[in-house]
Structure 1
Amino acid sequence: MPTRSGVGSGAEMQVLGLCRFSYLGRGGFKVDHDSLEERRAFLYDPRRMDERFRYFEAITLPSVQAQTDPDFTFLIATGDCFPDIYMERLAALTADIPQTVIRRYPPMKHRQAMARALKDARVEDGAPHLQFRLDDDDAMGVDFVARFRQTARDLRPLWDRHPAIAVDFNTGYVFRAGPRGLEVVAYKYPYSAIALGVILQPGVQEGIMHHGHHKLWTAMPTITFPGDDMMLRGHNEFNDSRMKGGARQFDYQPLTPEQEVHFRARFGIDNARVRALFSGG
């Protein structure tokens, strides 16, 4: 795993990101299934997996790989029954991104499994610990890790007094992807799961997976940074939060040439590559 950077007085901060990738467990989806077998069939349906991999390759991983501060671990948690054909594909996609670590867990409650994944990867050395999460169809700004770490430094008097503090970057875009590339709408949303992190005091175990992301403000002090584009939220056919109907609709617009340059600079995303992947290329 990457080494960790210092934060004054010899203290260090481990930055650990979590991405659930088609983990088979109980809970964690707004769409219910009557059994694990039913959920397994849903998760590993070839059409769904093809879409997940397209988004992961075109959107999520470029934003991970382009981070200006490379000193973090990006933990990809999936199930111990994740089919071999998909495991090989996942390993190949992440082989050249040194921050990525893939871990497999048996079926259990979703939050329990994800909290265990974070705990397993955590280094306990008397230092503060920074956690964030990112879905497999979303992206974060290329300077998210750097800004998150700097904010932790700036907030030292607060985390000296509070077990946990949430840091929220609330500005960006909602998008969908297809053969025309990205189509987007500017978006501000508080406590999204994207570009949201938690600073934990040394030894504190109740982290980002112990509370719903939209309810973190009820459990700990928070600080919000509006302004710079930092989050990119995917909407697609298998987007769990939109499958029950009644979800908000957006007036998506294709990226302009100027926006294509901006998205490459802010998120590391190449719109030509998006068009190729979503055209079957």
Structure 2
Amino acid sequence: MNVATPAAGKVWLVGAGPGDPELLTLKAVRILKECRIWLVDDLVGSEVLDLASDTTRIVKVGKRGGCVSTSQAFILRLMARYARQGHHVARLKGGDPFIFGRGGEEMAWLRERGIAVDSVGGITAGLAVGSALGLPLTHRAVSRGVTLVTAHTADGVPPNWKALAQSGLTIVCYMGMSSVGQLGKELLAAGFPAGLPVAIVQRVSCASQRHAVTTLENLDSDVRNRGLGSPAVIVLGEAVTHRQIDVANTSTGMPFARAI
């Protein structure tokens, strides 16, 4: 007697954006509707999950620094197991899968094991922060480019801050809030000026978004005084002075800090 072989499944690495469900791409929404199983990162906005149908199985596989987290090895095995059972699986990630999201590692691992995998890009917080504050990350008068960088590295070796200090680019720093005091010291030691404008934006694009604008020398104290924390991005550069939002946003009620 022949036993039916399960239909081949597939994994989709889907970027959920920074939190606002309206920032999902049309393709992401379509793929999510096609996937019965969602493996959801901790930074995915709660309103994005409202798009799930009654038959969607949502498995939370959050990974947050300093917190009890699902191991990456377990997440990989889970994706493979569901796909081999014939399911279409959405690996739903905050932001974009390929910007500090391990998308490249996961895609390579799945392909090495013969599992079909594809991806859908998302808006990363480091880009969404521009619209959130009306802040031009590039500006022809003060910044000819933007760099996305992480303050937390797997091997503990920091970015080449000295080179970035000399670049004149706008710097958007991820994963810097847990050691913001040390980060500020490293940036000053690398040659960033003490008076460099800085914006710290927590929960970019969400209804709970908060921000503060300060200078590099006051970064640590202002973060503490404002009670800001993760998830947040830190924007460094003269472009910060060209932001357009400094007062309460009457449409969302989001609180904003003082201008420089």
Structure 2-normalised TM-score? 0.32
TM-score by length of 1: 0.31
Kindly indicate which of the two structures has a greater share of residues assigned to strand.
Answer: 1
